[in-house]
Structure 1
């Protein structure tokens, strides 16, 4: 399991019991995202969108009119509904569409999209380097990679014989991003950092992210849950949300939206 002259192989162990709960966890799943704790994935959500890949399911929330095309306005509204403020939503929309539009456009045309739209059918083309490897190059979900992500980067802070933790601190998340960086891949480094920083802002609680929340971010089901929660008086009780809808976490700090 570890090589003497490569200490990192001992510092970042694989999870060895994934197959006890998930059958053949090394085989990518096309339309469901299972974990050890939830071997069936997000059942209702996966059944509803069973004809879409997991990476497409991750993005369906942003396709507000279900036409297979994500416009910048769709993305802006999506961030607003998640509780992010005007400035963050505007900045995120620009970054997302400038960085991710053209790869998906190549499935339609060799010319860049003048509106910087993102095409759901070819969303797998937006897979970038320096990521966790949870998605394969066709947008399928690999359970073993997801489980290994948690074991590798929480093992150093977990006593031997104790099951892997299901939360990850900000420092561990940083170690995870740093450990997955590939040489000469500044786009992947930047994309990975922005994705995980946004996820942390959205789901952190007491300075940690929960494994189940991250799994549901990956399959997209959590976006719908957060939007519904923020439409209620109680709001979404995790994350910081940047105060866009008057909530910071689950507490309403302002009687109005920004």
Structure 2
């Protein structure tokens, strides 16, 4: 029996902190944690619009965010959608994210979605490095468990409220 409510009772609980809902994720693989940031309403399903919002929240421009969200949804959505998911299968289901892994992946996650910290860089360097161009250890670790996305969004929100 496939039940998302059971999934969330097991994996998610939310804590209100200063008016911002922060997902506290237990028993998830690193890969699930990595993508959970983009699940903006914490329902276990990442829509294209949620993915777009997530990329904008971490500092990507709208054009990049739209293109990336569309391509990821088209490529990953069908692989992670359960048989009973509504068509078109463009939403990414966190529970099944491991099914989207393929041979040309960076190897940052193993077949079960656990992290292999010695792999993966790119966009995160641009977004998470400091003013001197250094990417700190906690940011690197945060790439794998998704915590760096929450940190980047908080920094951007703080910066906008200071202006």
* C-alpha distance 211-129 of structure 1, shift in aligned 2 (>3 A): farther
On the 8 A contact 1:71/1:115 being kept in 2, the answer is: no
Distance 1:132 1:80 in 2: 24
Deviation digits for residues 85-119 of structure 1 (CA, Å, limit 9, x no counterpart) = 111111111121112111112xx129894151101
Distance 1:234 1:94 in 2: 27
On the 8 A contact 1:70/1:119 being kept in 2, the answer is: yes
Long gaps (5+) in structure 1 = 1-30, 32-44, 150-175, 177-191, 236-251
Deviation digits for residues 135-158 of structure 1 (CA, Å, limit 9, x no counterpart) = 2211123xxx42xx3xxxxxxxxx
1:198 aligns with 2:146: no
TM-score between both structures, scaled by the size of structure 1: 0.48
Q: Which residue of the partner structure matches residue 124 of structure 1?
A: 98
On the 8 A contact 2:78/2:89 being kept in 1, the answer is: no
Which 10-residue stretch deviates more, 60-69 or 110-119? 110-119
Alignment of 1:167-182 (within 5 A): none
Kindly name which structure, 1 or 2, has the bigger radius of gyration based on alpha carbons. 1
* C-alpha distance 116-228 of structure 1, shift in aligned 2 (>3 A): same
Q: Which residue of the partner structure matches residue 166 of structure 1?
A: none
Post-superposition shift, 1:65? 1.1
Q: Number of aligned pairs? A: 142
Q: Secondary structure at the match of 1:77?
A: helix
Alignment of 1:31-180 (within 5 A): 48-105=24-81, 108-109=82-83, 113-114=87-88, 116-141=90-115, 145-146=116-117, 149=118
Post-superposition shift, 1:70? 0.4
Q: Which residue of the partner structure matches residue 154 of structure 2?
A: 228
* C-alpha distance 111-49 of structure 1, shift in aligned 2 (>3 A): closer
Distance 1:232 1:114 in 2: 37
TM-score between both structures, scaled by the size of structure 2: 0.73
* C-alpha distance 134-79 of structure 1, shift in aligned 2 (>3 A): closer
Post-superposition shift, 1:216? 0.3
* C-alpha distance 223-97 of structure 1, shift in aligned 2 (>3 A): same
Q: CA RMSD in A?
A: 3.0
* C-alpha distance 86-113 of structure 1, shift in aligned 2 (>3 A): same
Q: Secondary structure at the match of 1:232?
A: helix
Long gaps (5+) in structure 2 = 1-10, 12-21
